Structure 1
């Protein structure tokens, strides 16, 4: 599976350890913790495999490899998908 940004322009503001993200396409404002915000930020550069996105997020959090729990990462990515901010793609579809 590949994670990709849903390609929407977002406006970011960090406030007291929380990230406020305004999504103009839906006129919604979202509040994310650092982990969720970093996952979303890493996908702004382009599609990544789930393993690559998780590793990138761990580095950005200054965490040891494997320290970011799969449950926390999966919850954050599923929530971002529900909000329409990222998409899961099959690797064969993404490469076409």
Structure 2
């Protein structure tokens, strides 16, 4: 697995506790259909045993197993105190619902 955490994301994440979850989130279209989009959140998942756990540079990352083989970049965006994590490198996939 290749995941890159940018320096700004690493610094921000360590200030927030050093734990992040990268998971798939379903998005539904207005005319039917849906896709799963990769999202990153600065907290531990509700069910951590369902995720692949990675520890490095003082951080703990929980990655959805379906994203393990993709080259991901975890970054932070926003300004002032309104920053949030995002993930790049994962293509949207058709939802299995």
TM-score normalized with structure 1 length: 0.23
Q: Which has the larger radius of gyration?
A: 2
TM-score normalized with structure 2 length: 0.23
Report the structure, 1 or 2, having the larger strand content: 2
Report the structure, 1 or 2, having the larger helix content: 1
